[in-house]
């Protein structure tokens, strides 16, 4: 794995999505900023895809800029995981939000190990395979005050 890597993927809602990975991930952040990507929450960078010619020019510039910053650029075929998380959150009852966490530095992934419920295949995968993002978990809606009746589909007591 490279010391610094930029991973590009596609988002239905946000165009081209990029995030940094590797032990020297700040180099990738610099290349993304210098090439015109806009930083969003959680260290995710966006390039609106509404102008294909401008997008191609920006991505070509990113590749040249990344080389200057000792950073590789990879494209993954999977759609941005945040799109699926948002879709699931919309299907849940109540008001839910989904957030994606980026694990830019490889050591940050080790923070996941104590939370694993499976020491078999899942545990092996987390210990041996680089995961630059955590699968998003929906943020539940706030619990209504006890004096309000609970919303349908929730288990709050009155």
pLDDT at 33: 95
Structural tokens at position 40: 């969003």
Q: Any idea which residue has 């990344």 for tokens? A: 66
Structural tokens at position 54: 């401008």
pLDDT at 104: 78
Residues 106-139 pLDDT 10s: 776 777 777 676 667 767 766 666 555 544 455 5
Residues 27-78 pLDDT 10s: 999 999 999 999 988 889 999 878 888 888 999 999 999 999 999 999 988 8
Q: How far apart are CA 62 and CA 34, in angstroms?
A: 8
* CB contact at 8 A, 6 and 28: yes
Structural tokens at position 63: 């590749």
Strand (E) positions, the chain? 5-11, 15-21, 38-39, 45-47, 72-75, 97-102, 133-139
Read off the pLDDT of each residue in 76-86 and give the average, rounded to a whole number: 86
Q: How far apart are CA 92 and CA 114, in angstroms?
A: 27
Q: How far apart are CA 133 and CA 9, in angstroms?
A: 12
**Residue 36 contacts by C-beta under 8 Å, 6 or more apart in sequence?**
47, 58, 61, 62
pLDDT band of 91, cuts 50, 70, 90: very high
């Amino acid at each position: 794995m490279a010391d610094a890597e930029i991973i590009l993927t596609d988002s239905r809602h946000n165009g081209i999505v990029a995030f940094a990975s590797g032990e020297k991930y700040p180099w990738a952040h610099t290349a993304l900023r210098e090439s015109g990507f806009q930083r969003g929450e959680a260290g995710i960078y966006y390039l609106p895809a509404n102008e294909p010619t401008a997008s191609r020019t920006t991505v070509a510039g990113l590749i040249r800029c990344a080389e200057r910053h000792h950073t590789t650029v990879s494209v993954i075929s999977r759609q941005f995981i945040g799109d699926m998380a948002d879709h699931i959150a919309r299907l849940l009852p109540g008001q839910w939000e989904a957030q994606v966490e980026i694990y830019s530095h490889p050591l940050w992934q080790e923070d996941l190990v104590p939370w694993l419920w499976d020491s078999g295949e899942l545990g092996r995968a987390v210990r041996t395979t680089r995961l630059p993002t955590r699968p998003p978990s929906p943020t539940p809606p706030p619990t209504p005050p006890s004096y309000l009746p609970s919303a349908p589909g929730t288990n709050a007591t009155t």
